Amino acid sequence: MEITTKQESSVLVIALKGRMDAVTAPFFDKAFAGWVSSGSKDMLINLGSLDYISSAGLRSILSAAKQLKIAGGSLHLAALKDAVKEVVTLSGFYTILQISETEEEALQKLR
Amino acid sequence: VKFLAAVTLAADMQNLKTFVATAADAASSLNLSPNEVSRVELVTEEVITNIIRYAYPDAKGNAALCCLLDDTGRFVIEVSDSGIAFNMTSVPEPDLASDLIYRCIGRLGLHLIRKFTDDIKYRRQDNTNILTLTMSKVAAL
């Protein structure tokens, strides 16, 4: 899994590429801890290049969302591909996370 | 029943990729859609990860994966280990109704396995856990 980030005003935009599974999800957790310690509170994860996610990846995203909410921030997801969208939907994440069709749409909600 | 692929390796996280790739290759050989292959990968990852994390708390051991095609054209994943007895089918469903802060992080993998399979059978035989998962709606044949 590749992780790249960019700053859009106060929002940290994270792009995940490849596979988020039991082996790679810990890399996200580690990176997330770094973003939090450098002061990021509102984050948007663009999943447009993520091909696969398992429960390990879902756990990392859920844990990140909880931490940001407690800190007064928020976590948004955008651009989910079909296989990822299916797993995210079946896990009931649409009722607890902000999920948008595109990165642009998510950024508008965050502004 | 048609045999597709099998692999036995140490139950170690560094072997997860090989287990998942073996199942994915078997699924791909049946011309399943990419989404269906993803489901096979997910079910395989969830059951193998469970063995890696919990089956051998005090020792090392193996996990065995076997992929089959049943008589009705459904993809079957059979996983076995000789670790502590664990019947996945007896674990309750997670609560998917609570709000973000109270949402439970555990058991999501099991929930997804149940969503993607028609049938899950567990048996304990000769000190071995044998889990047989029959995937739903496979478009092969």
Chunked in runs of 10, what are the mean pLDDT values of chain A (111 residues)? 97 98 98 97 98 97 96 97 95 95 96 83
- pLDDT above 60 (res B140): no
Instruction: Please tell me the pTM assigned to this model.
Output: 0.94
pLDDT for B137:
64
More confident of the two residues B138 and A46: A46
Q: How close A83 comes to chain B (CA, Å)?
A: 5
* Cα B69 to Cα B23: distance, rounded to the nearest angstrom: 12
A54, A62, A96 member nearest B109 (Cβ): A54
Return d(Cα B78, Cα B108) in angstroms, integer.
20
Take residue A44 and report the two structure tokens written for it.
């948007």
The interface predicted TM-score of the complex, written ipTM, equals: 0.93
- Choose among B50, B47, B4: nearest CA to B24: B4
Interface test with A, best of B108, B111, B116 (most A CBs within 10 A): B108
Closest-approach residue (CA) in chain A for B93: A91
* CB pair distance less than 8 Å for A87 and B42: yes
The residue of B12, B50, B100, B135 whose CB has the most chain A CBs within 10 angstroms, and thus the best one to mutate to test that interface, is: B100
Burial of A39 (0-12, 13-18, 19+ CB in 10 A): exposed
pLDDT given at position B96: 85
pLDDT given at position B101: 82
* Residue B138: pLDDT band with limits 50, 70, 90: very low
Contact predicate B65/B128, CB 8 Å? no
Per-residue confidence (pLDDT) for residue B94, from 0 to 100:
86
Q: Which amino acid is at B74?
A: R
Question: For residue B17, which residues of chain A lie inside 8 Å, CB to CB?
Answer: 23
Nearest CA among A8, A11, A66 for reference residue A39? A11
Using a CB-CB cut-off of 8 Å, the residues of chain B touching A22 are 13, 16, 45, 49, 52
| Neighbour order of strands in the sheet with B62-69 | B2-10, B62-69, B75-81, B128-135, B117-125
Which residues in chain A are closer than 8 Å to B100, comparing Cβ atoms? 62, 65-66, 69, 96-97
Is the Cβ pair B45, A22 closer than 8 Å? yes
- What gap in Å lies between CA A38 and CA B96, rounded to an integer? 32
| Helical packing angle, A82-90 and B108-116, nearest 10° | 110
Count other C-beta atoms under 10 Å from residue A33's C-beta. 12
- State the residue for tokens 């509102």: A42
Confidence bin at B100 (pLDDT 50/70/90): confident
Rounded to the nearest integer, the mean pLDDT of chain B is 92
